[in-house]
């Protein structure tokens, strides 16, 4: 049996991953390629997520059901406020003036309202490291904080999400047990940020035109 030449093997493996990283970078820097990737995720995500197996932590989250969320599970508003303060996350002006019970009703977890329940539950699980960002992001879609302009959408929702996402990722990676989990945390958070860049303003503007208010 031939012995493995480990230096050569390692050189080949490293070359493969470096080449793959360069290709991935080039593809992701192309707006059309990014849109295509997000289209594939949007089209096939229900099928991909359907194979997610329940874990004890997921089952515990599923037991926390808020009527305002139409049965959708996500962390409690009390837990979210604690994490937001602990990490020093960015909030929009007037955020803390909104009563906690009102913010609880405004927050619907990850994904658009139009998504089906199972897909939204899967997205909550997929983005669980950054789900805390949604507790700041969602209230900004309601009037009077939503003025329908791209400037406010960017400064009050998109930029805070991206900054807060980095804080959440760093926090989650410290608690991750291995390098693969840390890689997945970063990858999932990056895909969510990219999805928001592509489609979030349309949802923001639509909420403004509907006159979305907490009633």
Q: Is the pLDDT confidence value at 17 over 70?
A: no
Task: Establish if 98 belongs to a structural domain.
Answer: yes
State residue 157's pLDDT score.
95
> Would you say 27 and 33 are in contact if contact means Cβ atoms under 8 Å apart?
yes
Quote the domain boundaries for residue 108.
52-209
Task: Establish if 6 belongs to a structural domain.
Answer: no
For 151, the token pair is 């400037």
Q: Is 145 exposed, middle or buried (0-12, 13-18, 19+ CB in 10 A)?
A: middle
SS3 129: coil
Task: Establish if 38 belongs to a structural domain.
Answer: no
**Averaged pLDDT for residues 153-180:** 93
Task: Establish if 17 belongs to a structural domain.
Answer: no
Q: Is the pLDDT confidence value at 176 over 60?
A: yes
Of 30-39, 114-123, 193-202, which range is least confident? 30-39
Task: Establish if 39 belongs to a structural domain.
Answer: no
More confident: 65 or 214: 214
Count of domains observed in the chain: 1
Residue bearing tokens 């969320």: 69
Task: Establish if 2 belongs to a structural domain.
Answer: no
Render pLDDT for 98-139 as a digit per residue (tens, 0 to 9): 999 999 999 887 876 666 666 667 777 778 899 999 999 999
Render pLDDT for 56-97 as a digit per residue (tens, 0 to 9): 555 455 444 444 444 345 789 999 999 999 999 999 999 999
Task: Establish if 23 belongs to a structural domain.
Answer: no
Label each residue of the chain as H, E or C: CCCCCHHHHHHHHHHHHHHHHHHHHHHHCCHHHHHHHHHHHHHHHHHHHCCCCCCHHHHHHHCCECHHHCCCECCCHHHHHHHHHHHCCCCCCCHHHCCHHHHHHHCCCCCCCCCCHHHHHHHHHHCCCCHHHHHHHHHHHCCCCCCCCHHHHHHHHHHHHHHHHHHHHHHHHHHCCCHHHHHHHHHHHHHHHHHHHHHHHHHHHHHHHCCCCCC
pLDDT category at 5 given cuts 50, 70, 90 is low
State residue 98's pLDDT score.
95
Task: Establish if 82 belongs to a structural domain.
Answer: yes
């Amino acid at each position: 049996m031939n012995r493995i030449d480990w230096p050569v093997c390692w050189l080949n493996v490293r070359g493969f991953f470096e080449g793959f990283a360069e290709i991935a970078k080039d593809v992701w820097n192309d707006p059309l390629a990014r849109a295509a990737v997000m289209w594939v995720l949007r089209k096939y995500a229900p099928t991909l997520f359907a194979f997610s197996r329940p874990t004890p932590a997921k089952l515990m989250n599923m037991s926390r059901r808020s009527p305002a969320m139409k049965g959708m599970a996500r962390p409690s508003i009390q837990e979210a406020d604690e994490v937001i303060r602990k990490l020093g996350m960015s909030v929009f002006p007037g955020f803390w003036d909104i009563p906690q019970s009102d913010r609880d009703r405004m927050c619907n977890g990850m994904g658009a309202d139009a998504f089906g329940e199972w897909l939204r539950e899967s997205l909550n699980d997929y983005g669980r490291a950054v789900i805390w960002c949604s507790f700041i992001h969602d209230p900004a879609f309601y009037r009077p904080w939503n003025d329908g302009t791209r400037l406010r959408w960017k400064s009050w929702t998109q930029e805070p999400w991206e900054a807060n996402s980095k804080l959440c990722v760093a926090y989650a990676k410290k608690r991750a047990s291995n390098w693969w989990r840390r890689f997945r945390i970063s990858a999932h958070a990056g895909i969510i940020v990219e999805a928001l860049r592509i489609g979030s303003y349309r949802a923001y503007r639509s909420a403004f035109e509907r006159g979305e208010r907490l009633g």
